[in-house]
Chains A and B, each alone.
Chain A
Amino acid sequence: MAYWFKRKTILADKLPLHFLKQKSVAIGLMVILGLAFLAIFAPYLAPYDPVEVDLYNNLLPPSWEHPFGTDNLGRDVLTRVIYATKTDILASLFIVGISVSIGLFIGIFAGYYGGIIDKVLVGMMDTFLALPEIILALVLVGALGPGIFNAALALSLFGWVKYARVSRGLTLSIKEKEFIEATKAVGFGDFYLIARHIVQNTVAPITTLAALHLGHAILSLAALGFLGLGAQPPMPEWGAMLNEGRVFLRVGWWLSVFPGLMIMITVLAFNSLGDGLRDALDPRMKEVMMK
């Protein structure tokens, strides 16, 4: 027993922290913290109320009172962009959260039990990977009815495959390690055994995948919003704001430019964080992830 605990986990120590040295990752992280700050303290930072309409002052160009101008109902675009940060990031975290949990569960389950279960689940994974994700998400949202919750749900139904593949790969490789057999002999419950080891070992690759996935989730969510299938009025959401802005493209360019800019900055930040994490991973892990 002592022998087993003393041995460190095989594949990955704690999250390798030396990746922070890279410049792009540091900037990415700072931007993400900034966005989180914006999202949390939106009520104090935003100059106006995101939903308050002022019909007589609609479509005002950017000015000192309204740095990002106003929309067709006279609402301040800067305020709505700030509040939208909360909507979009929370929804993306929801998508990634659901995807990770489904993915981990299916991956570990398939990896550990193997045999027929493994074959069926892998088959399912390959099919889901082969399906055009955004198209089916569109159909699902079309069916369930538009709304930020339905949109996020639809996107998370297809986001889990990446995590399942990684966790399955790791489970298979860890399963052979003799110390798993050693603990089994001592009678640990299977599930406790799996949860503790594999989850601990998959922290590094999962975090990397999650960072990249967040960027992708924000893009897909905004896309659904743009198509009118995401957030419903008057909830501020970047994609929906872009859709509203489209009607006033010529007269109110600021309605489209600023939300789009925010989407890009957020995705850039998550991507650079993800890239930095991936490069910092030890090669064996990276290979498992890329397979």
Chain B
Amino acid sequence: MLGYIAKRTAIAVFVVFATSALTFFLLSLIPGETAVTIIQRVFVGDVTYNPSQAEIEATEQIFHLGNPLWMQYLYWLNNALHGNFGTSYISGRPVLSEILVRLPATVELAIAATILSLVVAVPLGMISAARQNSKTDYLSMASATFFIAMPNFWLGLILILLFSLHLDLLPVAGYGGLDNLILPAITLGAGMMAVTMRLMRSSVLEVLRLDYITTARAKGMDEKRIMYRHVLKNAMIPVITVAGLQLGYLLGGTVIVETIFAWPGIGKLLIDSIDARDIPIIQGCVVFIAIMFSLLNLLVDLSYYFLDPRIKYEKV
């Protein structure tokens, strides 16, 4: 078992490094990132200020602008491993603290969206499989197809329009109590809910055809109890596999959902920093999103072992 975890963690770590290297390269393509622009934005905050030659040299020294790209990356990496992700151009605060202050908001939103989508998708998937071709089956499958096709930012706008303005029920934006969480979580979770529901339905149908279900019936067990004791756990295995894939879309989604609902998470920080060309923050955000992405993937792998005893980790 430990061999498996070690292997998966190694992959996760590699992914984080690959992402950080790729992002560092991409960010180097930003034209015009010279010592002058850094001084203007970091130290001065007034773009019409032209720094003296001494200042330019000093800045180039601080940010190692002189040497080649890969060396700059290594400097950055070395600092990053010591927890120093550089300082934000705009706020002048250390990148690490800017991100860690916003990390809980994104994690909270991602978890809420995942739970919301699973809590809706799993039972609905089971019901539409149990009562195949019934009204609920058609209805839920049709709505799933719609939600998959629906852009989440449009869904967000529509929810704002309907819920908080006309019905004045839910707060429209901003971070705060539980009621602030509802609309963003629905917007973010909708896509994942649709995919999971469709998958759950086909997976349950698959399991219902297997022999051990007939055995269970032969023991005199009613359908409901068969569903929860025998079908659910088996049907979840393929769903968990796809959940890993969905995480990528979920994290991508947070960027958009946080912008619409002014949710102070890493996604919003990333968009603001891209607009403001705040390079250290962009780099920091992407690395943290990659870490969250790999961590969640690791959790999905671990849950395999917990769900499916047939998997012999030692063998991998």
Contact = CB atoms under 8 A, between A and B. Distances in A.
Is there a direct interface between A and B, measured as CB atoms under 8 Å apart in the complex? yes
Interface of A: 126-127, 130-136, 138-140, 142-145, 215, 219, 222-223, 226-229, 239, 242, 245-246, 249-250, 253, 256-257, 259-260, 263-265, 267-268, 271-272
A249 B160 CA distance: 9
A191 B293 CA distance: 39
Contacts of B255: 134-135, 138, 227
Interface residues of B, number: 46
A256 B282 CA distance: 29
A139 to B, nearest CB: 5
Q: Is the interface of B mostly helix, strand, loop or mixed?
A: helix
A70 to B, nearest CB: 19
Interface in B122-160: 145-146, 148-151, 153-154, 157-158, 160
Contacts of B289: 132, 135
Contacts of A256: 154, 157-158, 161
Nearest to B267: A135
A253 B26 CA distance: 37
Nearest to A270: B149
B201 to A, nearest CB: 14
A228 B145 contact: no
Contacts of B31: 145
Contacts of B208: none
Nearest to B282: A139
Contacts of B290: 131-132, 135
B149 A264 contact: yes
B39 interface: no
B15 A253 contact: no
Contact of B275 (A132, A228, A246, A257): A228
Contacts of B158: 256-257, 260
Given A130-B15, A260-B158, A268-B145, A223 B29 contact: no
B18 interface: yes
B286 A136 contact: yes
B30 A131 contact: no
Contacts of A143: 26-30
A147 to B, nearest CB: 13
B77 interface: no
Contacts of B282: 139, 142
A239 B154 CA distance: 9
Contacts of B234: none
A114 to B, nearest CB: 22
Nearest to B33: A143
B213 interface: no
B165 interface: yes
B243 to A, nearest CB: 15
A226 B256 contact: yes
B146 A264 contact: yes
B96 interface: no
B114 interface: no
Q: Which 4 A-B pairs have the closest CB atoms?
A: A134-B252, A260-B154, A142-B274, A267-B149
Contact of A138 (B150, B260, B270, B293): B270
Contacts of B153: 222-223, 226, 239, 242
Given A135-B286, A136-B286, A227-B271, A260 B26 contact: no
A156 to B, nearest CB: 15
B37 interface: no
B11 interface: yes
Contacts of A135: 251-252, 255, 270, 286, 289-290
Contact of B22 (A136, A145, A250): A136
A130 B251 CA distance: 12
A260 B256 CA distance: 15
B14 interface: yes
Contacts of B180: none
A146 to B, nearest CB: 10
B178 to A, nearest CB: 24
A267 B145 CA distance: 10
Nearest to B245: A129
Contacts of B30: 142-143
Contacts of B146: 264, 268
B87 interface: no
B154 A223 contact: no
A223 B148 contact: no
Interface string B231-270: 0000000000000000011011001100110000000001
B19 interface: yes
19 contacts: A127-B18, A130-B294, A131-B22, A132-B19, A135-B251, A135-B270, A135-B286, A135-B289, A142-B277, A219-B151, A223-B151, A226-B256, A227-B255, A256-B154, A260-B157, A264-B146, A264-B150, A267-B149, A271-B145
Interface centre among A143, A222, A229, A260 (most CB of B within 10 A): A143
Nearest to A144: B29
A130 B29 contact: no
A223 B22 contact: no
A188 B148 CA distance: 46
A42 B313 CA distance: 58
A169 B146 CA distance: 32
**Which of A139, A140, A228: most chain B CB closer than 10 A?**
A139
Nearest to A218: B151
Contacts of B275: 228
